[in-house]
Amino acid sequence: MEKLKDVLLKVQRGELSVDEALHFLKDLPYEDLGFAKVDHHRALRRGVPEVIFCQGKTPEQVVKIAERMNARGTNIMGTRAGREVFEEVKKAIPDAVYYPDARIFAVIREPVPKNKGLIAVASAGTSDLPVAEEAAVTAELLGNRVERLYDVGVAGIHRLFMNLEVLERAQVIVVVAGMEGALASVVGGIVDKPVIAVPTSVGYGANFNGLSALLTMLNSCASGITVVNIDNGFGAGFAAHLINRLGGTENEAALP
């Protein structure tokens, strides 16, 4: 809005003709006219990492993007990054760190505002771990405390019931499950909080690459469950962060 005000002021002061003003406004980036990104929480955005989705990019492409971001001094996170991608990034940015289970690398440059609430990440089986870690590490890098509750799937449902107090303490719960994906319904049935369900492509036979778990979660009869795409741990972690932020942030920002 400020550039627009500038232009108006110059027209008022006769420093700019109307035609010059029109021409200038026409070339003004859309964003600067105030119609773009509704971002009144800019303060909160400090430290929010810029994200590179590495899948389908060559290591060289990832490095090039990472270096450009690094030059801006912001935090960076790269998702779906294999170790060979990270090795290349590390050559260019030596203090990059790697979370192998989550397949995420990160470059930390500035502190992140910490959200007060807790995010719980529950997963059904060991094979769901990479997706669960993608969600958990994403949430952590965005400034959230995360507690993990793994291997609490329906086949070992007593482990879930033994750890109910983690669910009790959380503000938001991410549930990661493949095969039949029933865990989301069970959790949604016993808590009264936002639950984000992530179907995974883990399974075989008529699992259809996660379709089975996706449909289960969409059709859950427990209220308050919303769903992200199959294997989309990043999306779940990000949405959980946006929700958790509503509960307020600490006074001090900190390194993730």
- In one-letter notation, the amino acid at residue 163 is N
Residue 70 or 220 with smaller CB distance to a second copy: 220
> What is the closest distance, in whole angstroms, from the C-beta atom of residue 59 to a second copy in the complex?
15
Q: What is the DSSP string of 74-126?
A: --EEEES--HHHHHHHHHHSTT-EEETTTTEEEE--S-EEEESSEEEEEESSG
Residue 18 or 71 with smaller CB distance to a second copy: 18
Residue 91 or 159 with smaller CB distance to a second copy: 159
Q: How far apart are the first and last CA of the chain?
A: 33
- In one-letter notation, the amino acid at residue 237 is G
> What is the closest distance, in whole angstroms, from the C-beta atom of residue 208 to a second copy in the complex?
7
Residue 3 C-beta-side C-alpha neighbours within 13 Å: 14
- CA torsion through residues 160, 207, 128, 243, sign: negative
> What is the closest distance, in whole angstroms, from the C-beta atom of residue 9 to a second copy in the complex?
6
- Secondary element (H or E) of residue 227: strand 225-227
> What is the closest distance, in whole angstroms, from the C-beta atom of residue 95 to a second copy in the complex?
25
> What is the closest distance, in whole angstroms, from the C-beta atom of residue 13 to a second copy in the complex?
10
Phi, psi of 112 (to 5 degrees): -115, 140
- Strands 104-107 and 76-79 come out as antiparallel
Residue 76 or 227 with smaller CB distance to a second copy: 227
Residue 67 or 95 with smaller CB distance to a second copy: 67
Residue 23 or 95 with smaller CB distance to a second copy: 23
> What is the closest distance, in whole angstroms, from the C-beta atom of residue 94 to a second copy in the complex?
26
C-alpha to C-alpha distance for 142 and 157, rounded to whole angstroms:
30
